[in-house]
Each structure stands twice: as C-alpha cells, then as structure tokens.
Amino acid sequence: MTASRSDRPDEEWRWVPGYEGFYVVSDHGRVCSMPRPRARGGILKSPCGSGGYPTLALVKDGIQKPFRVHTLVLTAFVGPCPDGFVACHFDGDPANNHLSNLRWDSQKANADDLKRHRREGKRPLRQRKEEA
C-alpha cells in the first residue's frame, strides 16, 4: 500500500511486512493502525524504550509483538535486514526514524557511529534520570 495523508503530503505510507491490512508505516517514521473491529485505527504513539529507541507493540491474531520503529521503517521501505546487519541511524539520534536517516549496516559500522556521535556506553535518558 502506498498512500499519502493530507497533513503531510510528502509522506509515503507502506504496509508493515507481515501485518498487511493491520498497520502501515511512513517514511517519516510514523506508524498507523488501520480501522478494524475493536480497533479505531490512527497514528500510534511510540514511547522510547531501551536506549531511547521509539518502540511499540503490534497485534495480529491476538498476539502482541514489540518492534522498534526504525526496524519497521527499514523493513517496509528497504527490505528485510540482511544477515549480520543491524539498523543504523546516520545522525546518531535513535528517535529520528525518517527513512533518509536509516540504513542496514554491520554491527561494527553501528559501533563506529556510536563512537562518532559520542553515545558509546550511554544508558537511556529515562534510566539516567531515575538513578539521579
């Protein structure tokens, strides 16, 4: 599915692989639930999970499964993750899930990114606040 929403005409939407008919994801990193019985549909909120990465749970056939938003964007727009690769953010910001900021790359390249962006060994912001 490819669609655009009137509030952001430059935004492209595609079905979440494996969840066709249930969820779509945009190249801007937004996820939308489709209307169906017992589900109103609409843009989902994706709170930050481990490491500051926006995470949400998708439900299909009564089974709930957690996903990081960057993985949904890459899978829908680029394809499945190649063996041995991980999702990487060009700018080092785990909350920036725009397609232009994402790529599949090696774990080493991701570690190099973390060093370059000075995020190596950092804990999630929420965890640091709780420790204070």
What is residue 46's three-state secondary structure? coil
Q: What's the CA gap between 107 and 105, in Å, rounded? A: 7
pLDDT bracket for residue 5 (50, 70, 90):
very low
What's the pLDDT at 121?
54
> Are 91 and 77 a contacting pair, CB within 8 Å?
no
pLDDT bracket for residue 30 (50, 70, 90):
very high
pLDDT bracket for residue 15 (50, 70, 90):
very high
The residues, any chain, with a CB within 8 Å of residue 20's CB and separated by 6 or more, are 1
Instruction: Look at residues 44, 107, 103, 105 and name the one whose alpha carbon lies nearest to residue 73.
Output: 103
Tell me the per-residue pLDDT of 70-100, one tens digit each, with 9 for 90 and over.
Answer: 999 999 999 999 999 999 999 989 999 999 9
